[in-house]
Structure 1
Amino acid sequence: MTSNSSVPKKPLSQKRVDLLGALLQEALLTGRRHLHQFSQLTSLARAVESADTPAIDRVRFLTLLREIAADAEAQAQLDVDMFAGLLGGRMMKRKVEQEEAHQRKDVFVVDTNSTRH
């Protein structure tokens, strides 16, 4: 495997900005998906409430309402788990970095000329 050394590496701060941008993009897509599902639920609820809706259609609408709500709940749980996992991973990484920094502080470099035997 060869590496192309002419491709400049991104600094850590830019990688963090890129990661944050990707996370915000994912959050935006998630929000839009939930907004669409809530819009469907609202429309179905209005149709069920309408006096002009026949009883047979109300039963179908209620079934569809239940299915959309169950799907939205399952997707929301997946989203919560995903974002919690990302947050947990970030928190774990920060903890490891702090522990490594603490360990580096415990290591002393002593000039060999100043030691006594």
Structure 2
Amino acid sequence: MSETTDGQVGKVQVVGASTGRMGQRYLAAGDRVAMRLWDEQPESEGKPEAAREYETVGYVVSGRARLRAEDQTLDLGPGDSWVVPAGVRHTYEIVEAFTAVEATSPPAGEAGRDAPPA
């Protein structure tokens, strides 16, 4: 993961990006926001529901997913973007091979905020 420090700019190439325990690839990160890349395949079981300490905004590059958050369901496809506020319980169902970029604030990969749901 690359973080900006002391006013310096940083760069992360996806081929060298570290991978988190849920399969996410950590891209560039600053003090207040971080990016990550998801490349996922459909699963027979949906992902566990979770509420996170960070806000997430995302953009679908390719594929399809279904985002369920409390009483809402959003179908996501190429070109769609979404937001999940901090503290909202949600889950994703991958409908077809899915690639998306997310930004999290504060950075998800710090202080154990990005641990897999229990």
TM-score tier, shorter chain, comes to under 0.3
Q: Whose strand proportion is higher, 1 or 2? A: 2
Greater RCO (Cα-Cα under 8 Å, separation 6 or more): 2
Q: Whose helix proportion is higher, 1 or 2? A: 1
**What TM-score, normalized to structure 1?**
0.18
Higher CA-based Rg = 1
